[in-house]
Chains A and B, each alone.
Chain A
């Protein structure tokens, strides 16, 4: 077999490539959002798009999140396949009615008469010293809503593969890009592939402890696993969820049964956070194989403070993950 060509690109480039492909492959796809056209994207993902695709397919909108998402729902009901950019996940709160009351429910309430093939790209995560209103990780909230799908890639390969799946999906998909991962580089094949929604990735195999995480926390988990190996020779298995809904419980539970020790890392607030869902799933399905309680390393129960020193105190870090493993499991 021929060696397949592989390019090293950033997550930003992977998302842009996926969007261009979607626009090229299907006339029904169009992009819509604040400052995605003339300004070329607040995170510079849609650079050159307006020039290449024109204002009908790359639409700058007013700052009005509810009608951005709501009109995308309507356009989807009317036969299009919109890909919307909501500048950051914090602003999704202004579109909550459309996302939760309408996008998630119209297929069910109409008993399948209508479907909503809609992708909502948005930017999640803190750590950039943007203060409390601009530093939230709310994807876990959306993951609790039946009718939605939620994905959060952490590599260029997954960013492209999941975007392909999201755009092809006939359901509303929330596609959360982490603000601090856009520059992450990785290999992406030139050949077509996709990453199915609902499948987690085992980033690193190990027998002593399982670390479950997503998005930027999955990268922290890998760092913590490397540090654990270096320090004590123990092997951590790292699971990158990639999709929060539908959750790949099979991969998580299988690993939990194998290692008997599980740490869940979540950038979001500890109370009511998505990490709790994973903890529950593990104890329900793998209780007899566990050596001890499933542990959370979550964001602090606080609005994100601005100061660099204070901000660093509220988010999980590779060090905190390592400490949690050592303290709870004596590894």
Chain B
């Protein structure tokens, strides 16, 4: 990929926005302003930012409960996300969804799904509609290494391949499903992408800490999916720097493992690379940092100044 300056700015800005947004949300959580589960994406930013902006506006994105990074990379308004996390009426679901259930129909961001593996059949169905309506769109569906042992994963891969549906299955292998290492959960070992090949789905494993590499692999995979040959599977090797959720005491990972992966921080790594390569100046980096900080501050103010939902909205939108 012949990286240009505007692209480098976007990569850096989007990854940093996710990082700072989530750091801020974790502070609000500690202050009790965000409750429930809060699953941070910190460490995995290169995957969302490498993958999602490669889509067209009318393509679909399907996420899981660790969805803030995906939503931000899809261009969802940080204010609206933060307000949802705080349970406010101005949130994306008026306070009815919460952190795990973000939706934005205007961006074909089809959700935030709280059940491990549950989003996969739905992504397949979106792709079925795309094919049926001859829309030429693609469905990008994210899931974790924990989801691949669910029946729904296998049912979905099989059907998407059988019916040649336009899905890009995007596995973020961060080596853990909550506190359990993938070596202890998946018979196929760490190379989960090989499972996809048994369903005749072309698959590859990529470095999920390298935003440029993720973009290259995604672009190639999307072209292939758009060709109409059926789904493609990408496995991005990555790592979450924080606990599974903010309720996680984090007693199951070796300090040395965490340190080693933190040494490959996708934002620092890309920032250094871009500055060394002359794509970004130190001033750019500073400017982006300020811009991102302002945007995050604005999202917090917006959320804090927003009203709680009115009690009489509680029965709204159960049926249509």
Check if B319 sits within 8 Å of A56, measured CB to CB. Answer: no
Task: State whether A62 and B155 are in contact (beta carbons under 8 Å apart), knowing that A67-B121, A75-B125 are contacts in the complex.
Answer: yes
B129 at the interface (CB under 8 A from A): yes
Task: State whether A113 and B93 are in contact (beta carbons under 8 Å apart), knowing that A70-B125, A73-B122 are contacts in the complex.
Answer: yes
> A56-112: which have CB < 8 Å to B?
56, 61-62, 64, 66-67, 69-80, 82, 97-98, 101-102, 106-112
Closest residue to A116 on the B side, CB-wise? Answer: B320
What's the nearest-Cβ distance from chain B to residue A168, in Å?
A: 12
Check if A62 sits within 8 Å of B118, measured CB to CB. Answer: no
Task: State whether A74 and B128 are in contact (beta carbons under 8 Å apart), knowing that A67-B121, A107-B318 are contacts in the complex.
Answer: yes
How far apart sit A51 and B54, CA to CA, in the bound complex (Å)? 41
B130 at the interface (CB under 8 A from A): yes
What's the nearest-Cβ distance from chain B to residue A234, in Å?
A: 40
B64 at the interface (CB under 8 A from A): no
> B270-320: which have CB < 8 Å to A?
316-320
What's the nearest-Cβ distance from chain B to residue A149, in Å?
A: 8
What's the nearest-Cβ distance from chain B to residue A214, in Å?
A: 20
Check if A73 sits within 8 Å of B129, measured CB to CB. Answer: no
Check if B124 sits within 8 Å of A70, measured CB to CB. Answer: yes
Check if B121 sits within 8 Å of A71, measured CB to CB. Answer: yes
What's the nearest-Cβ distance from chain A to residue B136, in Å?
A: 13
Q: Which residues of B contact A171 (CB under 8 A)?
A: 319-320
Closest residue to A61 on the B side, CB-wise? Answer: B159
> B238-256: which have CB < 8 Å to A?
none
Q: Which residues of A contact B260 (CB under 8 A)?
A: none
How far apart sit A56 and B101, CA to CA, in the bound complex (Å)? 32
Check if A74 sits within 8 Å of B121, measured CB to CB. Answer: yes
Q: Which residues of A contact B93 (CB under 8 A)?
A: 109-111, 113
A137 at the interface (CB under 8 A from B): no
Check if A75 sits within 8 Å of B105, measured CB to CB. Answer: no
Check if A64 sits within 8 Å of B158, measured CB to CB. Answer: yes
Check if B124 sits within 8 Å of A74, measured CB to CB. Answer: yes
Check if A78 sits within 8 Å of B129, measured CB to CB. Answer: yes
How far apart sit A109 and B119, CA to CA, in the bound complex (Å)? 14
Check if A106 sits within 8 Å of B111, measured CB to CB. Answer: yes
Q: Which residues of B contact A30 (CB under 8 A)?
A: 132
Closest residue to A67 on the B side, CB-wise? Answer: B155
A156 at the interface (CB under 8 A from B): no
Interface size band for A: 35 or more
> B111-146: which have CB < 8 Å to A?
111, 113-115, 118, 120-130, 132-133
Closest residue to B152 on the A side, CB-wise? Answer: A66
Check if B118 sits within 8 Å of A97, measured CB to CB. Answer: yes
How far apart sit A170 and B320, CA to CA, in the bound complex (Å)? 6
Contact of A75 among B96, B118, B128 (CB under 8 A): B128
Q: Which residues of B contact A250 (CB under 8 A)?
A: none
Check if A110 sits within 8 Å of B125, measured CB to CB. Answer: no
Q: Which residues of A contact B21 (CB under 8 A)?
A: none
Task: State whether A98 and B121 are in contact (beta carbons under 8 Å apart), knowing that A75-B129, A111-B96, A112-B317 are contacts in the complex.
Answer: yes
Check if B125 sits within 8 Å of A72, measured CB to CB. Answer: yes
Closest residue to B163 on the A side, CB-wise? Answer: A59
Task: State whether A109 and B103 are in contact (beta carbons under 8 Å apart), knowing that A67-B155, A147-B319 are contacts in the complex.
Answer: yes
Check if B122 sits within 8 Å of A74, measured CB to CB. Answer: yes
B94 at the interface (CB under 8 A from A): yes
Q: Which residues of B contact A108 (CB under 8 A)?
A: 96, 317-318
Check if B118 sits within 8 Å of A70, measured CB to CB. Answer: yes
Task: State whether A97 and B319 are in contact (beta carbons under 8 Å apart), knowing that A74-B123, A106-B111 are contacts in the complex.
Answer: no
B6 at the interface (CB under 8 A from A): no
Q: Mark A282-324, 1 if CB is under 8 A from B, else 0.
A: 0000000000000000000000000000000000000000000
Among all A-B residue pairs, the 3 with the closest Cβ atoms: A74-B125, A70-B121, A78-B129
Listed in ascending order, the chain B residues whose CB lies under 8 Å from chain A are: 60, 92-94, 96-97, 101, 103-105, 110-111, 113-115, 118, 120-130, 132-133, 151-152, 155-156, 158-159, 162, 316-320
Listed in ascending order, the chain A residues whose CB lies under 8 Å from chain B are: 30, 56, 61-62, 64, 66-67, 69-80, 82, 97-98, 101-102, 106-115, 146-147, 149, 170-171
